[in-house]
Structure 1
């Protein structure tokens, strides 16, 4: 069983700004799917120049989302990997106005990406065979039970979470999504 990564509550405006850039999101996704990379390999994969990528890599490093791999880095070639963290979005009520706006901005540009993943699943699920799984559910939970359910889900992610370089033979990167929301706007009286 994998060690559970440390929980990181994303309430710091600096961290939210670091995540709020679409190229940084693409960098993190690339590292998550393909594993460690240099600015040169990221440049080829993402179609950006190495200077631009180096700047964004430093921003991600400064805010604790990636780290250099010293044992692989030589001379000017620096290797980067994503830091394994249990990233949590805080509730809007816990944030100051600036952080709330940054979180709204991140959510805004992530919506289309999430919708495209859903479209791709429903369009191509038969082609993916055993790799495509889906579940939908409805239950009745109080706030404490929902917290318990969420923590159990996060523990399950930790149990099966692996970086590309630590994956089992035959493993493929798999997108996982989870969200909850009330089924009705107002709780019953």
Structure 2
């Protein structure tokens, strides 16, 4: 399901994607690479993506269509030339995993696959963070904390984090001089 958020402020511009079929579009390593490339480098064609990712254009076109159906990318008609379509990532998405009871066994398996892929990426990012901090010149920041929260407070914290992300979120086309793509992660879990 893709819904426009009803809140005001930065949250108002966020679309929520929680449909298991849409999430299935993410559960493929090449599609995650496509999204990362578009997020870091900006709009691209299937030809430029194929060259950047070492794939053929036919394969890229198929995966681009899957991402478009899922609501994760959109074409840019004003940049089209001939048959070549330009693609960009949809900004401001709030991708939510549906509640387990709302998914079929097959959909839960897809969500689990996506979770494993994301976890592997997060572990690699943590390794890069640990190894590269000294040479990062201030470009790596992190924080760890412990708090005692109710479930409602944890949800409020999460929503505030999403609002903060929306406030600072921009793609490569809107980035000011000196900006770099920065990967951000947050998760909270009980310590006991």
Offset of 1:163 from its aligned partner?
0.9
CA-to-partner distance for each residue in 1:70-105, whole Å, 9 max, x for gaps?
000111111000011122223434433222111101
Counterparts of 2:49 and 2:102, CA distance in 1 = 35
**Alignment RMSD (CA, Å):** 1.5
Q: Conserved in 2, the CA contact under 8 Å of 1:4 and 1:159?
A: no
Matched, 1:70 2:83: no
Offset of 1:134 from its aligned partner?
0.8
Provide TM-score, normalisation by structure 2: 0.90
Offset of 1:3 from its aligned partner?
6.8
Deviates more, 1:64-73 or 1:102-111: 102-111
Q: Conserved in 2, the CA contact under 8 Å of 1:7 and 1:88?
A: no
What corresponds to 2:3 in structure 1?
Answer: none
The structure with higher relative contact order (CA 8 Å, sep 6+) is 1
Instruction: Kindly report structure 1 stretches of 4+ aligned residues shifted beyond 6 Å.
Output: none
Q: Which secondary structure state, in structure 1, belongs to the residue aligned with residue 33 of structure 2? A: helix
What corresponds to 1:115 in structure 2?
Answer: 123
Q: Which secondary structure state, in structure 2, belongs to the residue aligned with residue 158 of structure 1? A: helix
Counterparts of 1:91 and 1:115, CA distance in 2 = 25
- The 1:68–1:38 alpha-carbon spacing in structure 2 relative to 1, beyond 3 Å, is same
Provide TM-score, normalisation by structure 1: 0.91
What corresponds to 1:155 in structure 2?
Answer: 163
Q: Conserved in 2, the CA contact under 8 Å of 1:69 and 1:80?
A: yes
Offset of 1:108 from its aligned partner?
1.4
5 Å-filtered alignment, 1:32-111, equals: 32-84=39-91, 85-111=93-119
